[in-house]
Amino acid sequence: MAQLLSPPLKDDLDIVIPTIRNLDFLEMWRPFFQPYHLIIVQDGDPTKKIRVPEGFDYELYNRNDVNRVLGPKANCISFKDSACRCFGFLVSKKKYIFTIDDDCFVAKDPNGKEINALAKHIENLLAPSTPLFFNTLYDPFREGADFVRGYPFSLREGVPTAISHGLWLNIPDYDAPTQLVKPRERNTRYVDAVMTIPKGTLFPMCGMNLAFDRELIGPAMYFGLMGDGQPIGRYDDMWAGWCAKVICDHLKLGVKTGLPYIWHSKASNPFVNLKKEYKGIYWQEDIIPFFQNVVFPKECTTVQKCYIGLSKQVKEKLGPLDPYFQKLGDAMLTWIEAWEDINSPAKAALSQGNGVKKDESSTKQK
């Protein structure tokens, strides 16, 4: 029986969930999530008590905790925006992260079977990616598939997978203008494929249903300055995705997209979204060519070095577009400094017992 086998990567993966409302959605995920450690990042009012369903092993951080852990560097973590989730990436000690929104539920495949999204992400991350040549039968490592005729043999080993990007049934991840024009559209098409996004190609990375190898790409998964006090929102995951993709391309790491699906239940208000997004819609037209032309010097051999280089280029090339990008470039540097602080071996030993907060009442040891 499958339940008797140890859940894959049980001790190597954290589930990071940003929330401002409640965590009721976890009940539906219990069969798949319960073996894993959760990092809850509570956005908004820190005095509000977020109830975590019984039986989950978790840490919970509210804004006070973020400030306490990061001190002056806390200004790089967004407030009143799900971008705050990247604080969870920062403090995790695991190799892998799976992040999911609190309005995402278990979906069913065309046979009616419930989809274990976490297990599929793990499968995606543990199998190689193939960004250097496109396979027309999609993921060649999938059971029942393979590389097609003409696929060079020297490229069949693939590269390590850094990111697994999942999709959504029901409410699709549309921007505000599309939501306004098509309020009733639902994604009902289950596309049974995983594929590697080719090298040199950018994509819109949605943070709702996402997993990554923290050791391979963690420092690039900064979700930017959004929300309260910022001129833009709903571009946090997009920003992280563009930064991460250009770095993955440079370092020969792979990004996959496709399965698994989750069921996205909540359509956010399109008018509210429009206000958050509209600057992004204009700025994007400059941001995309910027990322398409990013070049990393050979000396950038680590994610951190690439990211620091990128932050400088952001300030230089996008700064003229709006002063926001100067702030963002600085925040990117602050993030890397915070990453080094918290994640370097010596410093991590020092901060042990200081930065981690566990909710007294319901932490359960496994």
Partner 1 sequence: MNQDDIKDSDIDIVIGALQPDLTSFLNEWRPVFSRFHLIIVKDPDLKEQLNIPEGFDHHVYTKPDIEKAVGASSTILFSGYSCRYFGYLVSKKKYIISIDDDCLPARDNEGNLVDPVAQHITNLTTPATPFFFNTLYDPFRVGADFVRGYPFSLRSGVTCALSCGLWLNLADYDAPTQALKPQQRNSQYVDLIMTVPARALLPVSGINIAFEREMVGPALFPALRLAREGKLRWETIEDIWSGMCAKVICDHLGLGVKTGLPYVWRSDKGDPIESLKKEWQGVKLMEEVVPFFQSVRLPRTATTTEDCVAEMAKSVRERLGSVDPVFNHAADAMLQWVKLWKSVGSGSSTPGGA
Which residues are at the interface with partner 1 (CB under 8 A)? 110, 132-138, 144-155, 165, 167, 172-175, 178, 182, 185, 187-193, 197-206, 234-235, 237-238, 241, 257, 277, 281, 284-285, 288
Shortest approach of partner 1 to residue 348 CB, angstroms? 34
Nearer Cβ to partner 1, position 34 or 284?
284
What DSSP letter does each residue of 8-69 carry, written as one string?
TTTTTEEEEEEESS--TTHHHHHHHHTTSEEEEEE-S-TTSPPPPPTT-EEEEE-HHHHHHH
The residue among 32 and 174 lying less far from partner 1, judged by its C-beta, is 174
Q: How far is the CB of 111 from partner 1 (least distance, A)?
A: 10
Nearer to partner 1, 282 or 350 (CB): 282
Amino acid identity, residue 245?
K
User: C-beta of 145: minimal distance to partner 1 in Å?
Assistant: 7
Q: Which is nearer to partner 1, 285 or 360 (CB)?
A: 285
> How distant, in Å, are the alpha carbons of 69, 153, 279, 351 from that of 359?
16, 52, 39, 18
Helix (H, G, I), strand (E, B) or coil at 83: helix
CB 131 within 8 Å of CB 198: yes
| Identity of residue 165 | H
Q: How many CA atoms lie within 13 A of 53 on its CB side?
A: 14
SS3 272: helix
CB nearer to partner 1: pick between 199 and 327: 199
- The angle subtended at Cα 82 by Cα 76 and Cα 83, nearest 5°, is 30
Taking the least distance from each CB to partner 1, the nearer of 142 and 357 is 142
**Closest distance between partner 1 and the C-beta of residue 206, in Å?**
7
Strand partners, 196: 256
- Cβ closest to partner 1, residue 23 vs residue 255: 255
Tokens of residue 181, six digits: 């024009």
d(CA 234, CA 243): 16
CB of 263: closest distance to partner 1 in angstroms?
15
Helix, strand and coil content of the chain, in percent to the nearest 5, comes to: 40, 15, 45
Q: How far is the CB of 180 from partner 1 (least distance, A)?
A: 12
Distance of closest approach, residue 254 Cβ to partner 1, in angstroms: 13
Phi, psi of 133 (to 5 degrees): -160, 135
Query: Shortest approach of partner 1 to residue 222 CB, angstroms?
Result: 16
Q: What does residue 30 show for φ and ψ, rounded to 5 degrees?
A: -45, -50
The DSSP code for 178 is H
Nearest residue (CB) to partner 1, 3 versus 154: 154
